[in-house]
Structure 1
Amino acid sequence: MKLSVFTVVTPDLTPEELVLAAKEAGLDGVEWRFKEVPAGAAGEKPSFWSNNLCSIDPSLPADQMQKFKDLALAQGLEVASITPYLNHLDLKDTEHVFRTAQQLGAKMIRLGVAGYNASADYNELYDKTVRYLKEAEQMAQQYGVKGIIETHHGTIAPSAGLAHRLVSHCSPDHIGVLYDPGNMIHEGFEHSRMGLQLLGPYLAHVHIKNAEWVREGTREDGTVKWRSKWAPMREGIVDFTSLLNDLKSVGYDGYLGIEDFSEQYTSRELLKEFAQLMRERM
């Protein structure tokens, strides 16, 4: 297995600084965050979702996009993924990401999945997402870049089982699943080996982060309220030794990508801690 970083978690590093830090930590690839910085946020303290210095602005012209490939290759890193936020299921935006990924030599992009908050019927959201994925599959074949959906709380794909139900309409040559066990602590928990066995050839990528549940007071009826929150990699519920053993059992040899939101470490420390934690178990 190889190691990568999703640059959403290194918001204070410029792309130039990121590739040097990734090389120093012994990583193999970069997943470039594909999202503009909000207008007016440039003067803010760097953060995951706002003034993220380590992002590709989707509005950049093609010749300026090229530097993100060149920076990675200069440090011996692969562009593992171009990772946008496509949950509006917009096909025009999706094709733009596929085109950029092809230019930058990325192996995959993250596709969208409908969100779920109980305000709309799951079956309608499911049908809408399947139609989107079938269109995206044609683009994936055209551009030679795999499209992947992520197991993510708050969507109709919180678990391996529900993600598999969506992608099973497509060929695993073109559409796959990003397995994120940290997200599945919030929602979608399954035994990891069962989920990985179910995904089979659709398993395309893995994200590494951790989460935990904490008590948050008491309801009016006297029962305890709980909430989930991000946790440092070594302190959350996910058992990474077990996870890597399960990944080995299904023959997975792709990327493990760090996406830790716990803010326990500086960006450079995070990359080194991630590499050490994974290599102890690989």
Structure 2
Amino acid sequence: MNQPAIDPVLTVFTKPWKTLTLEALADQVASWGLHGIELPVRPGFQVEPQDALETLPEAQRVFKDRGLKIVSVAGDLDEAAVRACAAAEVPILRVMLRIDLARGYRVSVAKFQETADSLTPLLRETGVVIGLQNHAGDFVGSAVGLMDVLAPLNPACVRAVLDLGHTALAGEPEPIAIDVASPRLAMVNLKNAIHRVVNEDEDGVKTWKTHWTTARGGLTSWATAVSTLRKHFYQGPLCLTAEYHDPDGKFLSGDPVLPLIQDDIAFLKSLLSAG
């Protein structure tokens, strides 16, 4: 039996192309048949935090002129970022929660919750949604962790960005991660990773690191992810994060990313078109 059809908004995180002009970036994304992008609003990128209130709406116009949209922004959890998103009609402000190991998990979570709660009146006013993403390392890393943080916060204003590359690293199978986060999903990130041995000492103790790879080559089953999202009738944004390591474990950027992301886009579209 065919599963329910879903028609998500397909976007790409443009972090690997920080040196392109907005016009060149928009032309590139338009050629891939996507609906839009996630734009980093960070120092050194096309839009920077200090003048985002003026420059983010200008960036949005560049993409809209090509039939695209800035669907989400990777930025800071503060009033200025929310107002910039509102001015540019960007619906999702994606953030992450780093755990301050000196202060502990609960204190770090409480600080995030306090900040997010203080922004709730502005979020209601503007319609911007804060999307909290799970991430490896010293961050909240799992769907279960996201839902723990989000539980007391307004579900209309603060939601989950579920990164299925990082949930796999955290040991959550795709069906469980999606089911756990589904009540609060604002967006789903797709990428893939493996663990690689980078060192082995004289006692045979191995040091492992995460190696970001292509859709077909890692721990996350994109096919299972799409199948599960169908079961949950998910229609929101699906963001390809375009994160890949070279053989030495360094992040790729610029032109070397192009064949990898284009192949991943084609693979994702084939999964979405399959019944």
Is the TM value for this pair above 0.5?
Answer: yes
Listed one character per residue, the Cα deviations across residues 137-162 of structure 1 (whole Å, up to 9, x for unaligned) are 33321221110100111244200001
C-alpha separation between the residues in 2 aligned to 1:8 and 1:255? 17
Partner of 1:261: 243
Q: Kindly state the Cα deviation for residue 221 of structure 1 after the two structures are TM-superposed.
A: 4.4
**Which of 46, 61, 84 is the equivalent residue of 1:100?**
84
Q: Does residue 230 of structure 1 match 2:221?
A: no
Q: So what's the TM-score if we normalise by structure 2?
A: 0.85
Quick check: 206-215 or 256-265, which moved more? Answer: 256-265
Unmatched tracts of structure 2, length 5 or more:
1-7, 245-251
**Which of 62, 69, 75 is the equivalent residue of 1:78?**
69
**Which of 13, 20, 23 is the equivalent residue of 1:13?**
20
SS in 2 for 1:76: coil
Q: Kindly state the Cα deviation for residue 64 of structure 1 after the two structures are TM-superposed.
A: 3.7
Partner of 1:41: none
Change in 2 beyond 3 A, CA 1:231/1:13: same
Equivalent runs, 1:233-248 vs 2, <5 Å:
233-248=215-230
State the percentage of identical aligned residues: 20
Q: Does residue 110 of structure 1 match 2:100?
A: no
Q: Kindly state the Cα deviation for residue 61 of structure 1 after the two structures are TM-superposed.
A: 6.4
**Which of 33, 40, 43 is the equivalent residue of 1:33?**
40
Change in 2 beyond 3 A, CA 1:101/1:232: same
Change in 2 beyond 3 A, CA 1:232/1:168: same
The root-mean-square deviation of aligned C-alpha atoms, in Å, is 2.1
Partner of 2:247: none
C-alpha separation between the residues in 2 aligned to 1:267 and 1:218? 30
Residue 107 of structure 2 aligns with an amino acid whose one-letter code is E
Change in 2 beyond 3 A, CA 1:75/1:270: farther
Q: Kindly state the Cα deviation for residue 30 of structure 1 after the two structures are TM-superposed.
A: 1.6
Q: Does residue 182 of structure 1 match 2:150?
A: no
Listed one character per residue, the Cα deviations across residues 114-144 of structure 1 (whole Å, up to 9, x for unaligned) are 335x433222222222212222333321221
C-alpha separation between the residues in 2 aligned to 1:113 and 1:126? 8
Partner of 1:45: none
Partner of 1:202: 184
Q: So what's the TM-score if we normalise by structure 1?
A: 0.83
